[in-house]
Structure formats: C-alpha cells, structure tokens
Amino acid sequence: MAAQGTGGRGGRVVGDYMVGRQIGSGSFSVVWLARHRVHGTEVAIKEIVTGRLNKKLQDSLMSEIFILKRINHPNIICLHDIIEVPGRIHIVLEYCRGGDLSMYIQRHGRVPEALAKHFMQQLAAGLQLLRDNNLIHRDLKPQNLLLSTNDNNAILKIADFGFARSLQPRGVAETLCGSPLYMAPEIMQLQKYDAKADLWSVGAILFQLVTGKTPFTGSNQMQLLQNIMKSTELQFPPEVKLSAECRDLCHRLLRRNPGIPSLPI
C-alpha cells in the first residue's frame, strides 16, 4: 500500500487514514482531521513539509518524535504513527475534539477554582512523568494544552514537544525558547535554568484560568520582563475572589528563582 494516495471516493489517503478537513496550521505544518480506514478511529495528522525546515527545526522535529515515542501517559498527547513520503512527514496523533485550553478560556472566561484544580491536577500528573524521564517541556501555554472533549470533564493533554529536551538531574539549560507571556524570567534573561522553569509557566496558566487574565503584560518581550522583575507582589484583579490556598499556589509558582512548590496532584 502506498504511503499516500487517493481513496476510492476521491479523498486523500495517508497510510491507513482517510484525510478530512483542515483543523489547524503553523508556519511549517498543516493539521488535518483524519479517520482510520478500517476501524474508524479519528486522529489528527500533522503534515510537515520538510523542505521548509532549517537544520535547527529539523532537529527539533526529530527530538519531538523521539520524546513522543518513549512516553505514554493519559495527560500527554498520544503518538499513533509516523508516516513519511518524499518531502513530507506525517505525525499521526490522537484527536482532541475539545480544542486547546486557550480556546476554552476564550469561550468561558475565568473558571471556578474547582475546575481550574481539575485541569491543574492533570497538568501536574503529565509534568511529573516528564520529570521522571528527565525532560523539560519549555513551551507550556494554553495553546499547547489540548482537551479531549468539550465539557468540564475533559482530559487535559500536554502537546507540542518541539522545544522539549532531555535534562539530567541537576542539569541546566540556557536556550531562549517558549512563549513570553508564560516564560520564566530566567529564560528571558538568558540565564541558565532547569526543570523548575516549567513551573513558572504552570503558574501563569493557573493565574489565567482563575482570573481570566495573564499575570504580567508588556508591549514587547523587554517590557514584559521589566514588569516581571520590578513586581514585588502578584496583583490579582480586585473583582476576583479566590481562596487563600489558590492565591498561595499562584504566589509560589510565580516566584522568581523558585524552589519546588508542591503541585495539586
């Protein structure tokens, strides 16, 4: 069977999958909804044009594939298959019909603490597996957290491991990567950092879930960093009423040069 071709009704076929509508896109990839031709399972196929990738991006892609092949956890996106054809790589992933957490926040605004805890417990469980495998994600943000369904019982899944890397215990990294609104200040300052940098991102996500706003803003990355560094106290919107436990967790996660705060597992 050809890796890519045309189905009997004219639809495009990639491996064992009938390709349907486009559900996402990036600078170098398109994501398609697809269905297994035999058992009907829906999947998401990330189609990457390899000729558009420079050496660094190629290395990131290979690293992402390697990481997804070696880990298996209900709170981490599942890799089903890799299908290669000339000029393209297709990454076959489980389909999360609930979209991503940023879409959820756009639809619902801030969420009750109980629901935020439901999501944070799942994020913490996925991060614990990464930590057990000496991995750091380095790009945690709502857009990279997928939801299995559209309801409040959705299973959260960590996705997009393009910036992830292996880091030995007590090891440090010094590469600038990630999304500024959720990026630990030590990364923005080009300082050495370790797995605790992911916890800053968790704090920013939790803050946005329970308040509907990001904890720090700025017109550009430099202004954002300056606002973080000059801040002496995390400012919660006055209209938002939160428990002392939730406020304390936000404070501990969004602390410069933190220890390791306990996550709500």
Supply the pLDDT for residue 216: 83
Residue 83 to residue 31: CA distance in whole angstroms: 14
Catalytic annotation present for 151: no
4-94 CATH choice from 3.40.50.12170, 3.40.50.1110, 3.10.180.10, 3.30.200.20: 3.30.200.20
The 10s digit of each residue's pLDDT in 232-263 is 678 899 999 999 999 999 999 988 665 444 45
Domain 101-253 coded CATH 1.10.510.10: yes
The catalytic residue among 100, 139, 160, 198 is: 139
Annotated binding residue 46:
yes
CA atoms within 13 A on the CB side of 104: 31
DSSP structure class, residue 154: P
pLDDT band at 138 (very low <50, low <70, confident <90, very high): confident
The 10s digit of each residue's pLDDT in 157-175 is 999 988 776 654 444 333 4
Domain ranges of the chain: 4-94, 101-253
